[in-house]
Structures are given as C-alpha cells and as structure tokens.
Amino acid sequence: MDIKAITRDKLGGDSRKQLIGGSAAGLVAVLVVLLLVLTTCGSGSSSADGPDGEGDRGAAAEGPSDAVVSLAPKNGADEVATTGALKVTAEQGRLTEVTVKDGKGRTVKGRYGKRRTEWRPATHLATGTKYEVDAVAKDAKGREAAKHGSFTTFVPKDTFVGYFTPENGDKVGAGMPVSIKFNRPIARREAVEKAITVRADPGVEVEGHWFGDRRLDFRPRAYWKSGTKVTVDLNLSGVEGSNGIYGRQRKTVQFTVGRQQVSVVDAKKKTMKVYRDGKRIKTLPISAGSPATPTYNGKMVISEKFPVTRMNGETVGFGGEYDIKDVPHAMRLSTSGTFIHGNYWTPKSAFGAVNASHGCVGLSDQRGGADRTTAGSWFFRNSLVGDVVEVRNSQDETIKADNGLNGWNMSWAKWTAPQ
C-alpha cells in the first residue's frame, strides 16, 4: 500500500475503497502510521513546556542567582576581635550552609537567624588564629550563590591560664570536683565560666561555683556514680577575663571515676567506717583531734597522697610542737593542713580509745610504712584521690568549702545561687 498516496489523498474515493476493501490488519497498520505522521507534524504544544504545562520554568531557573552572600569581617582582615566581629548574611535569599574552620580543621559552631538570612558563631573565637569561611545561599528559584573568605584574630598583650585538677587520664574517687585556679584575677566570671564545659557519661547536671576571683569548681548535685567518665573542655582562648586580659588555653581533659567510696569518721566513738558503693567494707579504730585541737567536721575530699611526708607544726600554726619527718601513708584533706595518715609514735592501744592529734585523723601504722597489715597501710592502698572522708561528732566547726576540695559542705541551692 502507498503511504504517500494515503497521506496526499486521504479524503479521496479511491483511497477509501482501498481502505474498506483491505484486510483488518492492513487497516490497523495504516491508522498507526497515519497517527505517527500527524503527531510528528505537530500537536500545538511547545517543546519547552514542562510535564505540568508551566511553560518556561526550567529556563527561568538558569542564570545567576539573585542571592547575595556577605561576610564580615572582610576577606583577608587582620587583628579581628574574638567576639562580635564574625557575621554571615544573605540578601534576596536564604543561607543553606555556613562553615567556619580554624587552621587545625576545627569547626566553629554557629546559629542561624529565624529566616536563615543571618549566621553568627555560637561562642567566641580563639586569639591569634586564622579562620576560613565558606557560605552558600539560595534565591527564591533555587539558584545558589557562594562566598569564601578568611581572616585572622588579634594576639593579646596580656593573657591568663587556668590550672586544673584532676589531670587528664586520672582515675579518681566519687567526690572529686573539677577545680580550676587562675593565675590572674577574673573580673568577667560569667564569660569565663561559660567557656568551660563539663560533661558526664552517664549524664548528670554539673554546675560551677566561684571561690573568689581566681578559683572555679564544678560538681554534680551528689557524688559521681561509679564508672562515670567526665570530659572537661577549656575553651578559654579569646575570652576576656578582665579588662584587656584574654585566655590562651584550648584544651580537653578527661578522667574516670573508679568507684564511690565514702569513709565516715565518728570522732566521739573514735571509729571510721569505710563504705564502697553503699556497702560497708571495713571498720577501723582512729584517733582524731584532741579537745584542745579538734578535727574539722564535714565532708573532706582526699586531694593528695604521700607514701611518706614531713609534718612540721610551724607550717600550720602550731609552732614547734611537733616536727615528724617520716609520717607514713598521708592523705591531704584540707589546704590548711588536715590529713588522714598513719601514726607510729602513738601506742596502738590508743586508737579507738583516745583523741590525741592536732586535728588530723590518725590510723595505727609502723614506721616506714612497709607493714601492709596496719590500718594506715590498708586505708592508703584502698583509697583514691577524690575519695570522701566525712567527719562527724567533733567539737570543731564544719570545714569551709574552699579549704581544700570540699564544696560538698555547701547545699546545692547555695552552690548554684547567682554570684
């Protein structure tokens, strides 16, 4: 059959006769071919129409973006302030991505404004540091605009640092606070405290408390749980602690709580009961401070351990009343000189019977500390820095919270009260 003839004379009689007289299969074939020809010749639609018939939408999304990204400070700027200077904005669009990194690849966290037309850092920047900034924004039609820049923060003339305890990697007792002592007075304490974060696993609320203008301690409401892992981030570089004096530390410290051990000294009964994770594991006879020089009451944290140390009364206000050069198994409980330690110069029968010390808690021991069977040796070997020794029923006052690592003597309400 001649397709050209059908197309040319599709209304003619001869063609109709051929179609009518042909086979059904031939008719179908002709109609299919005719449909293809007519479709190819055009149906009135534009090839630019999208599947939804909206015309030139695809073409409109091409071309430059209307969005304009701006960076502050300007690219290449030096001596940039560590707070208030960094800002990324977008006009005629919304920010979709902002990345700020220092020279070590550490990312600066930030916050977008409500309409994502602005981004600012969530914290201060470090001093003497070069930062790279990359930002992307999209306009209403989805077209992207990008901007890159870099700047360097200023180097301060005066700086401060914080000396912290415990040390990185330490295994400590459940009463151990995070204690930071600064080498310069801190006037802007809120800014400095905000730059230090203390996180615990398992999680627990941790709050800071200032003792004067040079010491900041952190602790939870109750003693740490056994096995707790604590991470301390000192993000002090770039923080203005006092007028013109900036921090210069950027450090992370981690330590682990070994177990929860609390030893309760009853000065009246002259005994000490040792509890580990709530279970009593030992009862030891002790000798506390005499009536003339009683032991402090209160919760005291072991801050140092010495297998052997010298104790001289002149260093703690007792003149020449004693000077013992080889005190065994000594553990510090206060800055002012309170220890729990081994005692070889007092008869063993006095422990549990007489309070005769100058304020320390004494345990029966042998000179040199080599005898592992003594009470002093056992307690030393079974104690960690950070363990708690709680003294009750003494005739003295409760120890001050800042006399050693003894913030547990403050209520949680007082610890967290505004300062």
Q: What is the pLDDT of residue 49?
A: 35
The predicted model gives 53-61 an average pLDDT of: 44
341 tagged catalytic: yes
209 tagged catalytic: no
**pLDDT(327) > 90:** yes
Mark which of 133, 153, 173 sits at the end of a domain: 153
Q: Which of 124, 209, 341, 358 is catalytic?
A: 341
Note whether 388 and 262 are within 8 A (CB). Answer: yes
Average pLDDT, the chain: 88
- The residue ranking higher by pLDDT, 23 or 248, is 248
With respect to residue 40, please indicate whether it lies within any of the assigned structural domains. Answer: no
Task: Label residue 54 exposed, middle or buried (CB < 10 Å: 0-12, 13-18, 19+).
Answer: exposed
**Band of pLDDT at residue 61, cut at 50, 70 and 90:** confident
User: What is the percent of the chain where pLDDT is above 90?
Assistant: 82
Q: Which of 209, 329, 358, 360 is catalytic?
A: 360
User: Domain check: are 194 and 295 in the same one?
Assistant: no
Please provide residue 142's backbone torsions phi and psi, each rounded to the nearest 5 degrees: 85, 10
With respect to residue 30, please indicate whether it lies within any of the assigned structural domains. Answer: no
User: pLDDT, tens digit, for every residue of 198-250?
Assistant: 999 999 999 999 999 999 999 999 999 999 999 999 999 999 999 999 999 99
User: Domain check: are 357 and 321 in the same one?
Assistant: yes
**pLDDT(361) > 70:** yes
User: Domain check: are 85 and 140 in the same one?
Assistant: yes
**Band of pLDDT at residue 101, cut at 50, 70 and 90:** very high
User: Domain check: are 387 and 279 in the same one?
Assistant: yes
User: What is the percent of the chain where pLDDT is above 70?
Assistant: 86
User: pLDDT, tens digit, for every residue of 168-185?
Assistant: 999 999 999 999 999 999
With respect to residue 95, please indicate whether it lies within any of the assigned structural domains. Answer: yes
Looking only at the bridges linking them, the beta strands covering 87-91 and 118-121 are antiparallel
The answer, as to whether pTM is greater than 0.95, is no
Provide the 10 A C-beta neighbour count for residue 373. Answer: 7
- The residue ranking higher by pLDDT, 55 or 363, is 363
Q: How many angstroms separate the CA atoms of 284 and 307, rounded?
A: 19
Half-sphere exposure of 219 (CA within 13 A, CB side): 28
Mark which of 207, 237, 257 sits at the end of a domain: 257
Mark which of 257, 290, 317 sits at the end of a domain: 257
* Cβ-count burial 85-117 (b if 16+ within 10 Å, e if not): bbebbbeebebeebebebeeeeebebeeeeeeb
User: Domain check: are 197 and 230 in the same one?
Assistant: yes
Provide the 10 A C-beta neighbour count for residue 43. Answer: 7
Number of structural domains (the chain) is 3
Q: How many angstroms separate the CA atoms of 210 and 217, rounded?
A: 6
Looking only at the bridges linking them, the beta strands covering 229-235 and 250-257 are antiparallel
CA distances (Å), origin 12, targets 8, 17, 26? 9, 9, 18
User: pLDDT, tens digit, for every residue of 365-384?
Assistant: 999 999 999 999 999 999 99
With respect to residue 12, please indicate whether it lies within any of the assigned structural domains. Answer: no
Q: Provide the domain limits for residue 226.
A: 158-257
**How many angstroms from the chain centroid is the CA of residue 183?**
23
With respect to residue 52, please indicate whether it lies within any of the assigned structural domains. Answer: no
Name every residue whose Cβ is closer than 8 Å to that of residue 167 and which is 6 or more positions away in sequence.
253, 255
**pLDDT(318) > 90:** no
User: Domain check: are 165 and 121 in the same one?
Assistant: no
